[in-house]
A and B are shown apart, each in its own frame.
Chain A
Amino acid sequence: MSDQDTLDLKVMIIDDDEISNFIYRKVIDHSGMSKNIDEFQQAKAALDNLDQNLSNDFKLPDLIFLDINMPVIDGWAFLKEYNEAILPRLTKKIVICMLSSSVYKEDIEKAKSYSNVNEYISKPLTSERLIQIIEKHFSGSQ
């Protein structure tokens, strides 16, 4: 846990459900791994934010929590746009973690088919799951 004590990750939450967002915050706060959380209820706004900060790694997130089920631009549409417009211009490693209330196998399979989706979480996000993810992607080198 010593690693996490010193960690200060930048986290981006993209989810239209305010209760989910409340939970993310609570869990992340509790873990102490980040005091820097950006919350977006619309995927479009998140994409714009990423686009604007492409040249500034410091402002780009280390970890994105992405909900699948959203109006207008859903999680899949976000990924498509992200892969086409954002990813090729990135210099920073961003871990993407997809979340959904769905327990459907199809969603999990689909998420796994995206090479840049690092994790898939069936809601809710728990402290245990969060720690797992941090240890997997952010321990050692940092």
Chain B
Amino acid sequence: MNLEALSIIDKVSPIVIFKADKEGKCIYISQKWTEISGYSFEESIGDGWISAVHPEDKTRTLSGWKPKTASQVSITEYRIITKHGDIKWLVTRVAAEISENDQVIGYIGSATDITERKLAEHSLQASEEMNRKLVENSPNAIVIQELDTTIVFVNKRAIELLGARSEKEILGKSTKNFIHPDDQPGIAARFKQIVSTNQRGEPYTFRINGFRNNRFLGESIAVPFHWKEKKVVLLVIRDVTEERENLEKVADSEKRLKQFIQYAPVAVAMFDKNMNYVGCSHKWLKDWWKKEEEVSIDDVIGKNHYDLFSDVSNYWKKVHQRVLKGAYEVNEEDFFVDEKGKTHWLRWEARPWRRKDDDIGGVIIFTEFITERKKAENDLKVVADQLLESNQELQQFAYITSHNLRAPIVNLDTLLGFYDPKIGYNEDNAQVFDKIIKSVDQLKSSLNDLIQLVDIRETKSLRTREINFMDSLNQVLRAVETQINTGDTELTYNFDKAPSVTFEASVLESILQNLITNALKYRRAAPLHINLYTYNSEEYVVLKISDNGIGMDLDVVGTKLFGMYQRFNDTKEGKGLGLYIVKSQIESMGGKIEVESTPNEGSTFIIYFKKN
């Protein structure tokens, strides 16, 4: 073939045509070469083209491009580096040109650009390699099963999870062999659905029984696809045993914690940063939920505290704000007044709770109503005060009685020493004797006082009945008749508003007698006027006894007025026992006595008889 013919073929051919002499020097190369390589005809003829060959492929290409025998066609694949620096793949086919006498006179060849094919080949290889590696190294078990459930492929992880010695133990078996019997119906239904819809299934969890007691909980995704010209289902299975156990543990511990809080016999609640309920105890709702409709813990969780309890005070809101900023607050004795005006005592504690990152997550509040305890404490205090008072009174009683009994006795003792029985009657002895009689009288009187005082202390056990004030007054007036008649005395009374009282008759008479006698005793020179008046108050029947006597300066007399053996006047006879007795009698019956007085004007005693 001559060169002209070649150049014509060259124009129509998509391949490079070239010709070399018997030494292998290129004597022709078609235009197509320049298009592919960027090298010109002149640059390429002779050995020029060799410089375009990729250095790594040079030796192989140079030694192998020529056919070894005349009849052979040599095929060589190699890379070139174009004048622009790109790498291109060429495949060269070369045959020897034979003369009539069978001598090799040169070579004719073609070269085709196979770069695109090569790239496609490589990328496929790469992706296959990748897939293979992915499957091999996947942390998930990968199983391919045919539509009749026969397993046709398993990866390393699948062999591991199933506890098989090799894939041979698994391949050819049905997947059913490895599914827990109870889970098989569910799996079968899903398998059917996946195959019929040709859609990938949602993750599904079931129990897998492998070889040699390898059991685990698998979460699988099933994907239908075509593999080796067959419709199959690819299963990707993840071992979720531990994960599930952990989740269950967390759920369980959460549940336990929730129960612990719910049934804790204290009022405790946990809020988030916006004061929404995270949890609370039954006691919390019992203590604080006052609305008609029932509410459960589940009802309040997630709800806002201020929405649920519209009456939360600013006091509490401020506590919440401070705690949300990190404060820990506690109050052992706090109180509030409810809308009905009732005071409630409580002790409380509020502290922030923190998230894993130590940020404040919200507030935990504990409250305990201590109203009852507080009340009991107060009651106890009242009792203690009463006991203290009564103890002081008893001490006073013991002191005074011992004094009043001892005084006449020691006097008697001394006086008897003065009395001289040998002398008989003389003036000295008569004087001493007179004092002895007086001392004995004092002793008798003190003993009588004592008996009377002990009596009052037992008044509580007396039997009460309804008594008319008029009747009692008449009794008393008979006793003091002479005293009233001898002086210029007027006694008036008005019992219309409260004619009677439920009381002990003898005690009422004793009270009236004491007070009227006092009025008579502590009169001024002027005509005496005594008035008695009764009325009802809510709790008491009230008796007022007024006089226009000498009166008292209450600032001086003060609380001593009703004390034992207190005397405030040394010109009048008296032991200072009357008002003490009156007060004791009234108080022992649950009542009280008050006094109003102005010196030189008179006194008013107000007696409150407790109603039943």
Determine how close the nearest CB of chain B comes to the CB of A14; give it in whole angstroms: 12
A25-43 contacts to B, CB under 8 A, are: 26, 41-42
Task: Kindly state the separation between the CA atoms of A26 and B566 in the bound complex, as whole angstroms.
Answer: 29
| Complex: A90 Cα to B432 Cα, angstroms | 37
A101 and B403 contact, CB distance less than 8 A: yes
Question: With contacts A42-B570, A103-B402 known, what are 6 further pairs, Cβ within 8 A?
Answer: A18-B438, A23-B414, A102-B406, A104-B402, A123-B410, A124-B411
Question: When A102-B403, A103-B406 are in contact, do A23 and B411 touch as well, CB less than 8 Å?
Answer: yes
Give B565's nearest chain A residue, CB to CB.
A69
Q: Smallest distance from the beta carbon of B579 to chain A beta carbons, Å? A: 13
Residues from chain B with a CB closer than 8 A to the CB of A18 are 435, 438
- The B-contacting residues of A in range 1-54, CB under 8 angstroms, are 16-20, 22-23, 26, 41-42
CB distance from B218 to the nearest CB of A (A): 94
Q: Does B100 contact A (CB under 8 A)?
A: no
A101 touching B568 in the complex, CB below 8 Å, given contacts A19-B439, A23-B415, A26-B418? no
Cross-chain contact A16 with B415 (CB below 8 angstroms)? no
Do residues A22 and B410 form an inter-chain contact, with CB atoms below 8 A? no
Q: Does B567 contact A (CB under 8 A)?
A: yes
Choice from B399, B438, B569 contacting A19 with Cβ under 8 Å: B438
**B residues lining the A interface (CB < 8 Å):** 399, 402-404, 406-408, 410-411, 413-415, 418, 431, 435, 438-439, 442, 566-570, 576
A19-B435, A71-B576, A102-B399 as given contacts; A124 in contact with B570, CB under 8 Å: no
**Option from B410, B435, B438, B569 in Cβ contact (under 8 Å) with A101:** B410
Enumerate chain A residues within 8 angstroms of B406, measured Cβ to Cβ. Answer: 101-103, 123
User: Could you name 10 residue pairs across A and B whose Cβ atoms are closer than 8 Å?
Assistant: A17-B411, A18-B438, A19-B411, A22-B435, A23-B435, A69-B403, A72-B569, A100-B403, A102-B402, A102-B403
In the A-B complex, the 7 residue pairs with the smallest Cβ-Cβ separation, listed nearest first, are A71-B567, A101-B407, A124-B414, A101-B406, A124-B410, A19-B411, A101-B403
Report if A118 contacts B (CB, 8 A): no
Is A126 touching B414 in the complex (CB atoms < 8 A)? yes
The residue on B at minimum CB distance from A17 is B407
Which residues does chain B contribute within 8 Å of A102, judged by CB atoms?
A: 399, 402-403, 406
Q: Which residue, B406, B407, B415, B438, has most C-beta atoms of chain A within 10 A? A: B407
Contacts of A101 in B (CB 8 A): 403-404, 406-407, 410
User: What residues on A are CB-neighbors of B566 within 8 Å?
Assistant: 71
Chain B CB within 10 Å — which of A19, A70, A104 has the most? A19
- By secondary structure, the A interface counts as loop
Smallest CB–CB gap between A101 and chain B, Å? Answer: 4
A102 to B400, CA, bound (A): 9
- Point out the residues of chain B lying under 8 angstroms from A41, CB to CB: 570
Q: Find chain A residues with CB under 8 A from B404 CB.
A: 101
| A104, B400: Cα distance in complex, Å | 10
In the bound complex, do residue B568 and residue A72 qualify as a contact, i.e. CB atoms below 8 Å apart?
Answer: yes
Contact A72 B570, beta carbon cutoff 8 Å: yes
Q: How far is the CA of A64 from the CA of B410 in the complex (A)?
A: 21
A116 to B410, CA, bound (A): 27
A20 to B413 CA separation, bound complex (whole angstroms) = 12
**Chain A stretch 67-104: residues in CB contact (< 8 A) with chain B:** 69-72, 100-104
Q: How many Å lie between the Cα of A44 and that of B275 in the bound state? A: 76
Q: Using a CB-CB cutoff of 8 Å, which residues 115-131 of chain A contact chain B?
A: 123-124, 126
Q: Is the CB of A19 within 8 A of B415?
A: yes
Q: Are B411 and A71 in contact (CB under 8 A)?
A: no
* Chain B, Cβ-Cβ closest to A16: B570
Chain A residue with Cβ nearest B434? A22
**Min CB gap B211→A, angstroms:** 100
- Provide the residues of chain A in CB contact with B411, threshold 8 Å: 17, 19-20, 23, 123-124
With the chains together, A126 CA to B439 CA distance in Å? Answer: 18
Complex Cα–Cα for A126 and B431 (A): 18
B576 neighbours in A (Cβ, 8 Å) = 71
Q: Measured between alpha carbons, how far is A111 from B375 in the docked complex, in Å?
A: 44
Chain B residues with CB under 8 Å of A70's CB are: 570
Is there contact, CB below 8 Å, between B569 and A71? Answer: yes
Whole-angstrom distance between the Cβ of A52 and the nearest chain B Cβ: 20
Q: Which residues on A sit within 8 Å (CB–CB) of B567?
A: 71-72
Question: A22, A69, A100, A104: which contacts B431 (Cβ < 8 A)?
Answer: A22
For B569, list chain A residues within 8 Å (CB): 71-72
Which chain A residue shows the least CB distance to B398? Answer: A104
Note all chain A residues with C-beta closer than 8 A to B399: 102, 104
A70–B568 alpha-carbon span in the complex (Å): 10
Q: How far is the CB of B525 from chain A (nearest CB, A)?
A: 21
Bound together, the chains give a CA A19 to CA B569 distance in angstroms of 20
Complex interface: chain A residues within 8 A of B413 (CB):
124
Bound complex: CA A32 to CA B418 (Å): 16
B412 to chain A, nearest CB (A): 9
A71 and B435 contact, Cβ closer than 8 Å, known pairs A101-B410, A124-B410, A124-B411:
no
Cα–Cα, bound, A104→B439 (Å): 22
In the complex, residue of chain A having the shortest beta-carbon distance to the beta carbon of B413:
A124
Name A101's closest neighbour in chain B (CB-CB).
B407
Chain A residues near B435 (CB-CB < 8 A)? 18-19, 22-23
The CA of A69 and the CA of B567, in the complex, are separated in Å by: 10
Set of chain A residues within 8 Å of B407, measured between Cβ atoms: 17, 20, 101, 123
Question: Which residue of chain A lies nearest to B408 when distances are taken between CB atoms in the complex?
Answer: A19
Could you say which residues of chain B place their CB within 8 Å of the CB of A69? Answer: 403
Q: Report which residue of B410, B431, B569 has the largest number of chain A beta carbons within 10 angstroms of its beta carbon.
A: B410
Chain B proximity of A129: nearest CB distance (Å): 11
A42 to B567 CA separation, bound complex (whole angstroms): 12
A residues less than 8 Å from B431 (CB atoms): 22
Neighbour of A71 across the interface among B414, B415, B439, B570, CB < 8 A: B570
Nearest chain-A residue to B406 (Cβ)?
Answer: A101
**Distance in angstroms between the alpha carbons of A20 and B412 in the assembled complex:** 10
Of B406, B414, B415, B435, most buried by chain A (CB within 10 Å of CB) is: B414
| Most A-side CB within 10 Å, residue of B431, B435, B576 | B435
Whether B403 pairs with A71 at a CB distance below 8 angstroms is no
Q: How far is the CB of B393 from chain A (nearest CB, A)?
A: 16
Residues of A within 8 A of B414 (CB): 23, 124, 126
A95 smallest CB distance to B (angstroms): 22
Question: In the complex, which residue of chain B has the Cβ closest to the Cβ of A125?
Answer: B414
In the complex, residue of chain B having the shortest beta-carbon distance to the beta carbon of A73:
B570
The answer to whether B438 and A71 touch across the interface, beta carbons within 8 angstroms, is: no
CB distance from A4 to the nearest CB of B (A): 20
A70 to B399, CA, bound (A): 15
